[in-house]
Amino acid sequence: MPKTSRKILEFLEEMSEQLSDVANRELNILKDLKIKEEGNAQFGMEDLLYYIKRAEEFKVDLDVGEIKQYFPVGLVISGMLKIFQDLFALRFDEIKDVDVWHDTVRVFSVWDASSSDLLGYFFLDIFSREGKYAHTCVVTLQNGCLCSNGTRKVPAAVILSQCPKEFDGNSALLRFPEVVRLFHEFSHVVHHVSNRATFSRFSGLRLEGDFAEIPSLLLENWCYESISLKMMSGFHQDITKSISSEACQSLKRRRDLFAGLKMKQEILLCESFCYLSNEVE
């Protein structure tokens, strides 16, 4: 493990250098695309994201509007809960007839499927309404810890989002990035309620930002695997028809396009943070 921030910076610079050849080839593809569309205009940083999206449209046969029809919000939620229960040997039991702040909020207890120990609780508050916080996020309601009398205080969290509840009398549809975002945030919920910290200070999400985000970033990869996508999908007019394997592969290819450039951007952000924080020793 690196002892100083200088070592971390050296690691980032080394990784960036190893990506340079790949990133330059990818950048040349984008420059050529801009020349085809705009003539000999200079390629600037402001062009990067736009032409990555344009190149993705050319290279991946994926109809975003059609894909959306396979992600009714109710089916996404039920499939997501099933995936996390299977992955981590958990059991989610919905609690009915409990006082909540809105009638669309659902409450679940979380149990260890092997030991039947109660691990915690979470609230699903995912549907839009007037005056509600506008972003998708997780809020911790109670941290877990070991009490002085030997009992354990269990953690609790709520996931907030702004999903429309119905569309023309049917379950609303989610865009694929919204599916990934929900999955990411629910990973935080599972991280929080599953922890067994002795002290509240180190419970669940009460960590440095990087450590809190890593589990969710890793678990996002399940959103690009056919087995999990099929569990969270179903054509909105016939939910027995899950998303096709070809569409799953297209989503994965689209994610992996221009990976060198995307990673170089992430490294640049990390390096900038080190310098701006004056943490380079």
Write down the pLDDT at residue 158: 96
- Domain identity same for 38 and 110: no
For the chain, the average pLDDT equals 90
Write down the pLDDT at residue 179: 95
- Domain identity same for 37 and 91: no
List, for residues 224-265, the tens digit of each pLDDT value: 999 999 999 999 888 889 999 999 999 999 999 999 999 998
CATH code of the domain in which 215 resides: 3.40.390.10
Q: Is residue 281 part of a domain?
A: no
Average pLDDT rounded to a whole number, residues 132-144:
91
Write down the pLDDT at residue 33: 92
Q: Is residue 66 part of a domain?
A: no
pLDDT band at 281 (very low <50, low <70, confident <90, very high): low
pLDDT band at 280 (very low <50, low <70, confident <90, very high): low
- Domain identity same for 22 and 119: no
Average pLDDT rounded to a whole number, residues 139-154:
90
- Domain identity same for 196 and 265: no
Write down the pLDDT at residue 167: 65
Residue 176 to residue 206: CA distance in whole angstroms: 29
Write down the pLDDT at residue 209: 73
Domain count of the fold of the chain: 2
Residue 73 to residue 40: CA distance in whole angstroms: 45
Residue 198 to residue 56: CA distance in whole angstroms: 47
By annotation, the residues acting in catalysis are 185
- Domain identity same for 43 and 174: no
List, for residues 32-71, the tens digit of each pLDDT value: 999 998 888 888 888 988 999 899 888 888 887 889 999 9
Residue 180 to residue 177: CA distance in whole angstroms: 5
Joined together, the tokens standing for residue 275 give: 């310098």
Range of the domain at 271: 5-60+258-276
Strand-pair category, 118-127 with 156-163? parallel
% residues pLDDT > 70 (the chain): 96
Least confident segment among 9-18, 57-66, 74-83, 212-221: 57-66
**What is the DSSP code (8-state) at residue 220?**
G
- Domain identity same for 245 and 123: yes
Main-chain dihedrals φ then ψ at residue 40, nearest 5 degrees: -85, 40
- Domain identity same for 95 and 177: yes
- Domain identity same for 121 and 165: yes
Write down the pLDDT at residue 205: 81
List, for residues 186-217, the tens digit of each pLDDT value: 999 999 999 888 888 888 887 777 788 889 99
Strand-pair category, 156-163 with 152-153? unpaired
pLDDT band at 1 (very low <50, low <70, confident <90, very high): low
